[in-house]
């Protein structure tokens, strides 16, 4: 059914849409940012150390001048490491063709050879140039010339150049079984930035990522064990309907419910309704929940999802 719309109404709607749209876009651009994935730190850190590190402080400064320390380690002279790292810088791989200058710097023995190699290509072009000089007009000769000209551009000699120095170096680094120890990297461990002599928690206001510390594996499984003791799951026959119901619940510090759990969505079938009710009964019956007080900020508001084992 179509209706005529008054121009003023139209203008009003358009203006409202414009204003609302502008408000939504400009006032909430931050919400649109996708939080970057957190990197996975692989380090053996005890749980209390981790907890100290992760615990933020509301009163913290915006920037923390001290480097973040994840692990207590013995004090080490920092200068040393830096020095050694620079010493070892020229790491040479054998497959890659080495840059020319380095070869020239190398000891006396090789020097005689490279010059020769360099001269050779100069000579060849000369020979080619000399040939055109005799003014013989000869078709066979021309074709021969062409043939001769062709090969020189392909630099067989230039290609030969690199192999020579390489061969020399391989000979130089011959493998001596008796001196395997010499091959070991004797540098000190260079990763020192994240260990120090004192732990300091990250007393900043938080990062742009905004992901809170996640200890849900700990308190979540504690909650799960407790609520499951009260859950009298309805028996839905053999053909499982893959039920899954979720609630949003708020807990007080003493582990009791702050209010009635809020079910997510309206159950579509009588069985789902019964399933949801059974879960709701369990949540209510099992309070108070004994969960670690340290993580209260995490478990004061969360969503238990009741579902079938896969």
Partner 1 sequence: MPFRLNRRQIITGMAALGAVAGGRNAFAQAPKRIPIPEGEFVPLPIAIPNFVAGTPGDAEVGVGVAQVITNNLKRSGLFAPIDQAAHIERITNIDTAPQFQSWKQINAQALVTGRMTRQGDGRLKAEFRLWDVNTNQQLTGQQYFTSPEYWRRIAHIISDQIYERLTGEKGYFDSRVVFVDETGSKERRVKRLALMDQDGANVRYLTRGSDLVLTPRFSPSTQEITYMEFGQGDPRVYLFNVETGQREIVGNFPGMSFSPRFSPDGQRIIMSLQQGGNSNLFVMDLRSKSTTRLTDTPAIDTSPSYSPDGSRICFESDRGGKPQIYVMPATGGGAQRISFGEGSYSTPVWSPRGDYIAFTKQGGGAFAIGIMKTDGSGERILTSGFHNEGPTFSPNGRVVMFFRDPGGSGGPSLYTVDISGRNELRVPTPGFASDPAWSPLLS
Residues that bind partner 1 (CB under 8 A): 1-5, 7, 10, 13, 17, 20, 24, 28, 31, 214, 216, 220, 223-224, 227-228, 231-239, 246, 248, 260, 269-275, 277-282, 284-285, 298, 301-310
CB of 300 to partner 1, least distance (A): 10
Choose between 53 and 279: whose C-beta lies nearer to partner 1. 279
Taking the C-alpha atoms of residue 283 and residue 262, their distance in angstroms, rounded to an integer, is: 11
Tokens at 173, concatenated: 């680094």
Q: How far is the CB of 220 from partner 1 (least distance, A)?
A: 4
Closer to partner 1 at the Cβ: 35 or 141? 35
Q: Of 207 and 269, which has the nearer Cβ to partner 1?
A: 269
- Token pair 């913290």 is found at 60
- For residue 204, give every residue at least 6 positions away whose Cβ sits within 8 Å of its Cβ, in sequence order, or none: 56, 60, 61, 62, 63, 64
C-alpha torsion sign, points 75, 77, 78, 84 = negative
Give the end-to-end CA distance of the chain in Å, rounded to a whole number.
49
What's the burial of 84, exposed, middle or buried (CB within 10 Å: 0-12/13-18/19+)? middle
CB of 228 to partner 1, least distance (A): 5
Q: How far is the CB of 175 from partner 1 (least distance, A)?
A: 57
CA distance 56 to 155: 67
- Please tell me what DSSP assigns to residue 131: T
| Shortest Å, Cβ 102 to partner 1 | 57
> Which of 1/92 has CB closer to partner 1?
1
**What is the smallest separation between the CB atom of 3 and partner 1, expressed in angstroms?**
6
Distance, CA of 289 to CA of 68 (rounded, Å): 35
By C-beta, is 70 or 298 nearer to partner 1?
298
Q: Count Cβ atoms within 10 A of the Cβ of residue 244 and give its class: 0-12 exposed, 13-18 middle, 19 or more buried.
A: middle
How many alpha carbons lie under 13 Å from residue 259 in its C-beta half-sphere? 7
Q: Per residue in 180-200, is it b (16+ CB within 10 Å) or e — as a string? A: eeeeeeeeeeeebeebbeeee
* Shortest distance in whole angstroms from residue 282 CB to partner 1: 8
Nearer to partner 1, 31 or 89 (CB): 31
CB closer to partner 1, 46 vs 224: 224
Q: How far is the CB of 201 from partner 1 (least distance, A)?
A: 22
> In the 8-state DSSP scheme, what is residue 168?
H
- Cβ-based nearer residue to partner 1, 253 or 307: 307
Q: Which residues contact 72 (CB under 8 A, 6 or more apart)?
A: 49, 195, 196, 197, 198, 199
- Both tokens of 79, joined, read 């200068």
């Amino acid at each position: 059914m179509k209706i005529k719309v008054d121009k003023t109404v139209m203008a009003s709607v358009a203006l409202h849409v414009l204003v609302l749209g502008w408000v939504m876009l400009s006032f909430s651009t931050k919400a649109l940012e996708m939080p970057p994935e957190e990197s996975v730190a692989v380090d053996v850190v005890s749980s209390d150390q981790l907890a100290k590190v992760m615990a933020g402080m509301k009163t913290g400064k915006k920037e923390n001048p001290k480097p973040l320390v994840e692990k207590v380690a013995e004090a080490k002279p920092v200068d040393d490491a830096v020095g050694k790292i620079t010493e070892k810088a020229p790491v040479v791989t054998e497959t890659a063709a080495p840059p020319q200058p380095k070869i020239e710097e190398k000891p006396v023995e090789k020097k005689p050879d490279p010059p020769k190699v360099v001269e050779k290509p100069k000579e060849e072009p000369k020979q080619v140039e000399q040939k055109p000089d005799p003014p013989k007009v000869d078709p066979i000769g021309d074709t021969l010339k062409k043939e001769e000209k062709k090969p020189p551009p392909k630099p067989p000699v230039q290609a030969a150049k690199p192999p020579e120095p390489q061969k020399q170096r391989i000979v130089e680094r011959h493998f001596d079984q008796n001196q395997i120890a010499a091959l070991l990297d004797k540098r000190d461990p260079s990763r020192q930035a994240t260990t120090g002599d004192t732990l300091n928690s990250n007393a900043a206001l938080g990062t742009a990522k905004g992901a809170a510390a996640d200890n849900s594996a700990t308190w979540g499984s504690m909650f799960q064990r407790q609520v499951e003791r009260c859950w009298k799951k309805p028996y839905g026959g053999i053909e499982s309907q893959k039920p899954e119901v979720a609630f949003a619940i708020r807990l007080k510090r003493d582990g009791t419910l702050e209010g009635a759990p809020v079910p997510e969505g309206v159950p579509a079938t009588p069985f789902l309704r019964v399933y949801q009710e059974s879960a709701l009964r369990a949540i209510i019956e099992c309070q108070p929940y004994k969960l670690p007080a340290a993580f209260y900020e995490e478990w004061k508001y969360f969503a238990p999802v009741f579902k079938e084992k896969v």
